[in-house]
Amino acid sequence: GRRVLRSLEDLRAGVSPQGEVKGEFRLGIMPYLSDAALALPLDSLRAAFPQLTLRITSGWSPRLVEQVARSELDAVAVCLAEGLAPPDELVCDDLGVQSVLLVASPGLGVPKPADLASLSRFPWVMNENGCGFRAFIRQSFDALRLPFQVGVE
């Protein structure tokens, strides 16, 4: 949120002689970031720049990154799997690491610690195609030539 506010303040100082930001700001947000994580920063943007119209688009990270690269969006808030980076032509700010937790019924007998080979015998509950995390998991299984079965989308 602060990074977005700083960017808009820079824009205001450099573009408008009166220092007023107006027009449209097109922001892409991943579905699970849209409520809790960005509600306060978006409210702050609206309060700080009442003449600015926010256009919020929700989507999966790969699609949002493509849209901002094509200038269809002005900025995006996305999560990328470890080792993945957005295109070099985009200006990015890493906001930190988010842990992923595997949850399974104790009755399944998932070993601790679990590795991909032991997890490959179970169907997964995943977001639909287009989700960056799903693509990362699939690529991880494919790299080891292990089966990856989605039981529920």
Q: What mean pLDDT is predicted for residues 7-28?
A: 67
Which CATH superfamily is 2-77 part of? Answer: Periplasmic binding protein-like II (3.40.190.10)
Query: Can you give the pLDDT at residue 14?
Result: 45
Query: Can you give the pLDDT at residue 7?
Result: 55
Lowest mean pLDDT among 108-117, 126-135, 137-146: 126-135
Q: What mean pLDDT is predicted for residues 20-47?
A: 81
DSSP string for 60-129: -HHHHHHHHHTTSSSEEE----TT----TTS---------------GGG---SS--HHHHTTSEEE-PPT
Average pLDDT over the chain reads 82
Checking if the pLDDT of 79 tops 60, the result is yes
Q: Where is pLDDT greater, at 75 or 34?
A: 75
Spell out the domain ranges in the chain.
Answer: 2-77, 106-152
Checking if the pLDDT of 1 tops 60, the result is no
Query: Can you give the pLDDT at residue 124?
Result: 92
